């Protein structure tokens, strides 16, 4: 059952229709589930009173002993848990199936402690430690202990952090340090790329601002692809809308950015996630490496946008019309893949019309249909 509240009657029918069609696109819609599973939900409610985190192995033992649940083996339980995760009753991820979070709101509250602003921090004594998190998104174990000590979260640190990592809410930089991208407020300064050769910019176009996808992509690059934040002058290059990560070969770096394109020419897809590879001069960019990175990033974007219906339907790929390191104050526009039909593309989107050699822009990337 879904309930909603609206202050006026304006558009209420359209809103209901939209709500209904959105709900029906959920993967579990129309799926038949055993009635006995509802009893399992009561088991969760009962267990929840005693603890928030529960080991899978013990739950399995309990349900196998309880006859009327209709769960006969481990596979049955995994199916039921996956269903209850999708419907928001519990938090269960098959990748870390040994620990189940029984109380989703409690998990959300734990994350809320991390993303507090300084005005709402109750205990002012550790505010000096808070700056690294508040300004740079860097969360030390020390600070986490303080943020979580009041509400009993800290004793479940390992389970909570693991689930947050799995959901791309934070990235593990070391055993004692995490990166929480939504807290980062640093501005990018393009001069750090002055001595670099850069690829063209591959752009994934969106109708809406995909900030969550940007954050999750950065986290996924660190957690799953072995990339690490690049350090320049002793500071990690992670900024509010731009991140530079080192690729495993240690020569190529990946810049991931989110752009809000206000120009008239970008009206149909005003937002983009952009990828640019850079190396230190006189090194040259190896296009085999850029293609490999592109493949990895595309896989991740596909996974990350799965839950976004409109995004899946409308996403397009394009390239910036000029070949310069990111962030230089130089006008450039996005040419969509499907617009590149000729070898020489005449870009009249820029205020001074210019010719783009399509090969020079495309040579870094494999042709993709997205």
Write out the residues near Zn ion by the rule CB under 5 A.
321, 333, 347, 350
Which residue number, 97 or 336, has a Cβ lying nearer to Zn ion? 336
| The pair of three-digit structure tokens given for residue 119, joined into one six-digit string | 């005005």
CB of 191 to Zn ion, least distance (A): 23
Which residue number, 229 or 318, has a Cβ lying nearer to Zn ion? 318
Which residue number, 143 or 205, has a Cβ lying nearer to Zn ion? 205
Q: What is the helix (H) or strand (E) element at residue 214, kind and residue range?
A: helix 211-224
CB of 60 to Zn ion, least distance (A): 60
From CA 144, how far away is CA 114, in angstroms rounded? 8
Which residue number, 340 or 350, has a Cβ lying nearer to Zn ion? 350
Which residue number, 134 or 333, has a Cβ lying nearer to Zn ion? 333
Which residue number, 289 or 332, has a Cβ lying nearer to Zn ion? 332
Helix (H, G, I), strand (E, B) or coil at 4: coil
> Scanning the structure block, which residue is given the tokens 């006969």?
72
Nearest CA to 89 out of 28, 159, 178, 172 is that of 28
CB of 365 to Zn ion, least distance (A): 18
From CA 118, how far away is CA 114, in angstroms rounded? 11
Which residue number, 84 or 319, has a Cβ lying nearer to Zn ion? 319
Using CB atoms within 10 A of its CB, is residue 72 exposed (0-12), middle (13-18) or buried (19+)? exposed
Which residue number, 114 or 321, has a Cβ lying nearer to Zn ion? 321
CB of 264 to Zn ion, least distance (A): 13
CA 54 to chain centre: 26
What's the DSSP call for residue 165? H
CB of 321 to Zn ion, least distance (A): 3
Helix (H, G, I), strand (E, B) or coil at 368: coil
CA 239 to chain centre: 15
Q: What is the helix (H) or strand (E) element at residue 228, kind and residue range?
A: strand 228-229
Nearest CA to 190 out of 275, 255, 145 is that of 255
Which residue number, 80 or 203, has a Cβ lying nearer to Zn ion? 203
From CA 347, how far away is CA 335, in angstroms rounded? 8
Number of residues that this document lists for the chain? 370
CB of 271 to Zn ion, least distance (A): 19
CB of 290 to Zn ion, least distance (A): 21
CB of 351 to Zn ion, least distance (A): 9
Which residues does 108 contact at the CB level (< 8 Å), separation at least 6? Answer: none
From CA 257, how far away is CA 246, in angstroms rounded? 15
Which residue number, 64 or 324, has a Cβ lying nearer to Zn ion? 324
CB of 335 to Zn ion, least distance (A): 8
CA 42 to chain centre: 33
Return the sign of the alpha-carbon dihedral for residues 133, 138, 144, 148: positive
CB of 91 to Zn ion, least distance (A): 46
Largest CA distance in the chain: 76
């Amino acid at each position: 059952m879904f309930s909603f509240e609206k202050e006026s009657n304006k558009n209420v029918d359209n809103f209901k229709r939209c709500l209904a069609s959105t709900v029906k696109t959920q993967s579990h819609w129309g799926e038949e589930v055993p009635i006995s599973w509802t009893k399992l939900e009561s088991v969760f409610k009962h267990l929840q009173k005693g603890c928030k985190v529960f080991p899978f192995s013990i739950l399995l033992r309990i349900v196998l002993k309880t006859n009327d649940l209709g769960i006969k083996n481990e596979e049955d339980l995994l199916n039921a848990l996956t269903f209850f995760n999708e419907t928001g009753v519990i938090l269960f991820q098959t990748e870390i199936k040994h620990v189940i979070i029984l109380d989703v709101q409690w998990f959300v509250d734990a994350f809320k402690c991390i993303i507090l602003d300084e005005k709402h921090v109750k205990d002012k004594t550790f505010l000096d430690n808070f700056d690294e998190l508040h300004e740079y998104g860097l969360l030390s174990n020390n600070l986490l202990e303080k943020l979580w000590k009041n509400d009993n979260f800290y004793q479940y640190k390992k389970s909570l952090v693991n689930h947050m990592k799995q959901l791309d809410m934070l990235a593990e930089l070391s055993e004692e340090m995490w990166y929480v991208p939504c807290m980062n407020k640093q501005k990018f300064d393009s001069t750090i790329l002055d001595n670099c050769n850069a690829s063209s910019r591959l752009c994934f176009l969106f109708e809406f601002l995909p900030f969550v996808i940007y954050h999750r992509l950065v986290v996924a690059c660190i957690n799953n692809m072995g990339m690490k934040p690049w350090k320049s002058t002793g500071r990690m290059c992670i900024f509010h809308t731009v991140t530079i990560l080192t690729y495993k070969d240690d020569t190529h770096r990946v810049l991931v950015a989110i752009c809000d394109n206000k120009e008239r020419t970008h009206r149909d897809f005003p937002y983009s996630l952009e990828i640019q590879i850079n190396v230190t001069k006189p090194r040259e960019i190896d296009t085999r490496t850029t293609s490999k990175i592109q493949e990895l990033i595309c896989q991740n974007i596909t996974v990350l946008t799965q839950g976004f219906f409109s995004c899946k339907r409308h996403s397009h790929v394009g390239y910036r019309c000029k070949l310069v390191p990111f962030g230089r104050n130089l006008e450039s526009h996005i040419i969509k893949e499907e617009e590149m039909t000729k070898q020489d593309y005449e870009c009249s989107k820029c205020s001074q019309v210019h010719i783009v050699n399509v090969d020079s822009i495309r040579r870094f990337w494999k042709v993709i249909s997205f």
